[in-house]
Structure 1
């Protein structure tokens, strides 16, 4: 059965790849981008099944309008995918005030505005699926990506709470957590903070870091089957890693966290009073 899907950040990367995969199999897709010129090829090819929408997701009113436009245009809405976002590269000390505010506006508030826009529709329908594009960096951190980490940790936090809040309305929620992929994430769309030489050695050390080796980066095309399975399954998971790095590294990092908490358990319990 075909679905109606709303996806943000669809002019390139995962967004465009997934949007076209949906269209190819007969789904209806509303796709957003700040400028829709990058969506024209899909509009030409798929006609009435495709609705391109120019949207700045940091504008709450515009986000509400865009989601409702898609719903009214197609007469239904089954899946909302919050894919839009970008990275800030730099140590925490290096990141500028406006850089930090801008990436939080896009990655956190933009995701939140679109989510809030979809919820009344899904509640009325008593069904719907919200998919947030998080990251393995919403589960654990890497040096020089701390600000990006913070945005994805925030998305993980409100989305986990959301899943509990809306399950009774028939609404499903999933956090998709990719490891590194050969997309433009570190390219033109990324922001590079002004460097402080004191952090040069840390940055140089990332050249040998787990998850950042050439073979650690996945092929974007390989994610299509996973996303199609995710939106088609009756009981989707709250969290889904994409790629081979996420689970193995998470198991090790969470063991380290648990070991630390246990080592300090006496202090923690004494602090209870």
Structure 2
């Protein structure tokens, strides 16, 4: 594998941590961002100069630009930018607060957008690179009780898919990663639960209240998933989407099939709103 320099947000846990450990072990350089000081001191001690670390809250747009610019300046070239920082929020629309809505959109959606925007001038100037967006099957499919999480992920997938078309002429590839459930701490340390309303107790939205139940482990092996993400950079052209996990495939296949069926059923009626020649 070609030795590369990676920029990864949120390297203290989850996929960010797994990817960072694997990359450093293989001799790559990693520029990682963290929110909690001291959370990667073990990796800094072990890997020294090959591991560049900065504190960053991706909701702080000026700080995003400063950190991204500094990373490119100090490391010279960054080949891969990974938007990994994010969290989950479960609850029906009535159950989540205004503060929770702003928080998840500022982190999962706007944070990734601003990291990407900060990196693009550097990637263009150096003649190419790769952007990897960690999403979820929930960026294409939905479950009840997770409306704002889905809103943030559907939004970032739309942004990334359009941006991929914009930056392809500059040799910049974009990959959206859509993992299923993984045995990380995401469900337990990176998941907010809205305060439940009794009116939703016997509705589908209530199913998400058991999301943090440790007796129901996820299917996915996070180390294997991290390896697949890393290996995707070797593919040319960049895969627009990377589906990880049989559960992800199952949810995506069902959701996309249902949506396509609904569209195809309206083929003849859709044209009724067209302006016809001679009208």
User: Structure 1 length as normaliser, TM-score?
Assistant: 0.93
Helix, strand or coil at the partner of 1:31:
strand
Q: Is 1:75 aligned to residue 76 of structure 2?
A: yes
Helix, strand or coil at the partner of 2:188:
coil
Deviation at 1:17, TM superposition (A): 0.8
Helix, strand or coil at the partner of 1:92:
coil
Deviation at 1:247, TM superposition (A): 2.3
**Which residue among 245, 253, 269 is the counterpart of 1:251?**
253
- Tell me the equivalent position of 1:156: 157
Alpha-carbon distance in 2 for matches of 1:139, 1:60: 27
- Tell me the equivalent position of 1:51: 52
Deviation at 1:33, TM superposition (A): 1.0
Contact 2:35 2:55 in 1 (8 A): yes
- Tell me the equivalent position of 2:144: 143
Gaps spanning 5+ residues in structure 2: where?
A: none
Q: Give the root-mean-square deviation of aligned CA atoms.
A: 2.0
Greater Cα offset, 4-13 or 257-266: 257-266
- Tell me the equivalent position of 1:268: 270
Contact 2:137 2:251 in 1 (8 A): no
Deviation at 1:38, TM superposition (A): 0.6
Alpha-carbon distance in 2 for matches of 1:135, 1:233: 20
Task: Rate the CA distance shift 1:120–1:270 in 2: closer, same or farther, 3 A.
Answer: same
Matches within 5 A, 1:1-273: 1-201=2-202, 202-203=204-205, 205=207, 214=216, 217-273=219-275
Gaps spanning 5+ residues in structure 1: where?
A: none
Alpha-carbon distance in 2 for matches of 1:272, 1:219: 50
Alpha-carbon distance in 1 for matches of 2:269, 2:237: 41
Deviation at 1:67, TM superposition (A): 1.1
Contact 2:135 2:177 in 1 (8 A): yes
- Could you report, residue by residue, the CA deviation over 1:52-105 in whole angstroms, capped at 9, with x for unpaired residues? 100011111111111121112221110000000001110122111110011000
User: Structure 2 length as normaliser, TM-score?
Assistant: 0.91
Helix, strand or coil at the partner of 1:245:
helix
Helix, strand or coil at the partner of 2:10:
coil
Helix, strand or coil at the partner of 2:186:
coil
Shift >4 Å, 4+ stretches: 203-209, 213-216
